[in-house]
Amino acid sequence: MRWVNISKQILFFSTFTILSFILSSCEEDRTVPIEGLDKTNPVIEIIEPLNEEITSETFEVLVEASDNVGIEKVELFLDNQLVGNLWSPPYNFTVNASNFSSAEYTLKAVATDSSDNSVSIETTITLILPTMNTPFHLQASKGEFGGKIVLNWFKDNQAKNNQVFRLNETSDQYELIGETEDNYFVDTTISTAMTNYYYKVRVYNSKSAFSELSSKVYGFTNEDLYDVMTTFGSQGSDNGQFYFNEHVSVDAEDNIYVADANANKIEMFSKTGEYIRKFRSIKAPRDIYFLQNGNVLITRSKDNKISIENKEGNKIVEWGATGNGNGQFEYFRQITVDKDENIFVVDHGNHRIQKFDKQGNFILKWGQNGTSDGSFQYPWGIAVLGERVIVSNKNALQIFDLEGNFIEKVIIPNIREIYDIAVKDDKIYLACIKVIIRTDIQFNKMERIKEDYFSIASGIDINSKNQIIVSDVGDRRIIILDEN
| Cβ-Cβ contacts under 8 Å for 88 (sequence gap 6 or more) | none
Q: What percent of the chain has pLDDT over 90?
A: 79
> How far is it, in rounded angstroms, from Cα 456 to Cα 387?
30
> How far is it, in rounded angstroms, from Cα 144 to Cα 468?
20
Which range marks the domain in which residue 187 is found? 136-219
Indicate if 310 and 451 belong to the same structural domain: yes
Indicate if 416 and 297 belong to the same structural domain: yes
Any domain includes 294: yes
Average pLDDT over residues 334-338: 96
- Give CA separation, 436 vs 224, 246, 415, 449, in Å: 10, 15, 10, 5
Any domain includes 60: yes
Indicate if 411 and 473 belong to the same structural domain: yes
Any domain includes 26: no
Indicate if 249 and 282 belong to the same structural domain: yes
Indicate if 266 and 403 belong to the same structural domain: yes
Average pLDDT over residues 192-200: 92
Any domain includes 23: no
Indicate if 254 and 206 belong to the same structural domain: no
Any domain includes 447: yes
DSSP string, 262-307: TTTEEEEE-TTS-EEEEEEE-SSEEEEEE-TTS-EEEEETTTTEEE
Indicate if 189 and 268 belong to the same structural domain: no
Average pLDDT over residues 92-106: 92
Indicate if 185 and 287 belong to the same structural domain: no
Any domain includes 16: no
Indicate if 153 and 121 belong to the same structural domain: no
Q: What percent of the chain has pLDDT over 70?
A: 93
The residue among 82, 99, 127 that closes a domain is: 127
The residue among 127, 155, 171 that closes a domain is: 127
Any domain includes 289: yes
Strand 247-250 relative to strand 173-180, pairing: unpaired
Q: How many domains does the chain have?
A: 3
From 12-26, 180-194, 208-222, the region with the lowest mean pLDDT: 12-26
Indicate if 245 and 321 belong to the same structural domain: yes
| Half-sphere exposure for 76 (CA within 13 Å, toward CB) | 26
Indicate if 264 and 362 belong to the same structural domain: yes
The residue among 169, 187, 219 that closes a domain is: 219
CATH number at residue 404: 2.120.10.30
List, for residues 66-81, the tens digit of each pLDDT value.
999 999 999 999 999 9
List, for residues 124-168, the tens digit of each pLDDT value.
999 989 989 999 999 999 887 878 999 999 988 889 999 999 999
Any domain includes 31: no
Of 416, 415, 424, 383, nearest to 400 by C-alpha is 383
Indicate if 268 and 343 belong to the same structural domain: yes
**pTM of the entire predicted model:** 0.66
